[in-house]
Amino acid sequence: MHEWTWDLRENDLPCIENSTNFYGYAGNSVTSGNYTTTITAGDFSESVSIDLIADPRVTATVDEMEAWTQSRTELTSLYSRIITTLGQARKASSQLSALMIDYPQVPELQKPAQSAIEKFLQWDHKIIQPLHETGEDEDAWPVMLLSQVKALLDAVGDSGAPVSAGALERIGDLQREWQMLRVELDEITNGEISTVNAWAKANNVGHVVSP
């Protein structure tokens, strides 16, 4: 009566609007092993065991397969952290804009809020490239951090085990770049956002949620 299919992938990557990702959000393909699927309807529940057998053409060792899985998991986690934080930063910027509209004659609010919004936008455009409207636009304008992470995730996933030394080195590069951008965001939070929230607290106004 019913049929369920599994594309042999993990959960999809998170997404937000205007993230300039033109290559999909499909999760990583899973490796061979035993899996369990459970179907529940009301009080009824039934589980079925599934054995995924490795492609006999794959010559990678167990250690190489584990390292491949680890690399994809690391990149997936990095992608998720970046895009989630980007959404939070945009929310904070929207809250600042709303406060500025509600309290236009308050210079102690207006000045730090405007500064934070400008810095958030500059930071945002280090994460995504706003000039990219299609995938082909990557040939015309620089690819920013989020798309670089996605491109490497796809490359590592498509190439299979073992992971190349260049890919491993690039993962480290992207991790360090994200850490530097995270520091920039924290500086906005500890600077302008703290100033705005101190004013908001003193005036019993809703504060800005820090990213």
Taking only the tens place, the pLDDT of each residue in 57-95 is 989 999 999 999 999 999 999 999 999 999 999 999 999
Give the list of residues 6+ apart from residue 69 with CB closer than 8 angstroms, or none: 28, 31
| CA–CA separation, 69 and 61 (whole Å) | 12
**Given a cut of 90, is residue 5 above it in pLDDT?**
no
More reliable by pLDDT, 179 or 21: 179
Percent of the chain having pLDDT more than 90? 85
Taking only the tens place, the pLDDT of each residue in 76-86 is 999 999 999 99
pTM, full prediction: 0.91
Percent of the chain having pLDDT more than 70? 100
Strand extents, DSSP E, the chain: 33-41, 44-52
Taking only the tens place, the pLDDT of each residue in 112-132 is 999 999 999 999 999 999 999
Q: What are the structural domain ranges in the chain? A: 60-202
Q: How far is CA 201 from the centre of its chain?
A: 31
| CA–CA separation, 107 and 117 (whole Å) | 15
Tokens, residue 209: 């949620």
Helices (H) and strands (E) in the chain, counts: 5, 2
